[in-house]
Amino acid sequence: MDAIRCCVIDDEPLALKLISSYVGRTAGLELAGAYLSAEEASEAIGGGDFDAVFLDIQMPGVSGMEFAKTVPPSTRIIFVTAYSDYAVEGFRVNAIDYLLKPVSYDEFVGAVNRVRQWKKGLDALSGRDSQGDYLTVKSEYRLVRLRISDIVYVECLKDYIKIYSDGQPRPVLTLMSMKTLESMLPGRTFMRVHRSYIVNVDRITSVSRGRVTLADADIPVSDTYRQTLLDLLSGE
Q: How many CB atoms lie within 10 A of CB 54?
A: 28
The whole domain housing 102 covers 4-125
pTM above 0.85, yes or no: no
- Between 8-22, 36-50, 189-203, the lowest mean confidence (pLDDT) is in 36-50
Looking at residue 209, its pLDDT comes to 79
**Mean predicted lDDT score pLDDT of the chain:** 84
**The domain spanning residue 209 has which CATH number?**
2.40.50.1020
Domain count, the chain: 2
Same domain, 138 and 120: no
Among 200, 195, 70, 197, CA closest to 135: 200
Q: CA of 122: how far to CAs of 1, 5, 109, 158, in Å?
A: 11, 15, 20, 19
Q: Rounded to the nearest 10 degrees, what angle do helices 105-125 and 13-25 cross at?
A: 60
Closest CA to 36 of 58, 70, 8, 6: 8
Q: What is the rounded average pLDDT of the residues 6-22?
A: 96
pLDDT in tens, 74-97: 788 999 988 776 554 544 566 788
- Mean pLDDT, residues 140-149 taken together: 79
Domain boundary (81, 110, 125) is at 125
Residue range 120-126: average pLDDT? 59
Residue 25 has a pLDDT of 96
What radius of gyration do the chain's Cα atoms show? 21
User: How far lies 126's CA from each of 61, 70, 137, 174, 220, in Å?
Assistant: 38, 25, 5, 10, 27
**144 & 193 share domain:** yes
pLDDT computed for residue 43 by the predictor: 78
CA-based nearest residue to 66, from 93, 31, 94, 99: 93
Regarding whether 89 and 56 lie in a shared domain, the answer is yes
Chosen domain end from 125, 151, 176 = 125
Same-domain check for residues 144 and 105 = no
* Cα angle, residue 85 at apex, residues 84 and 87 outer, rounded to 5°: 70
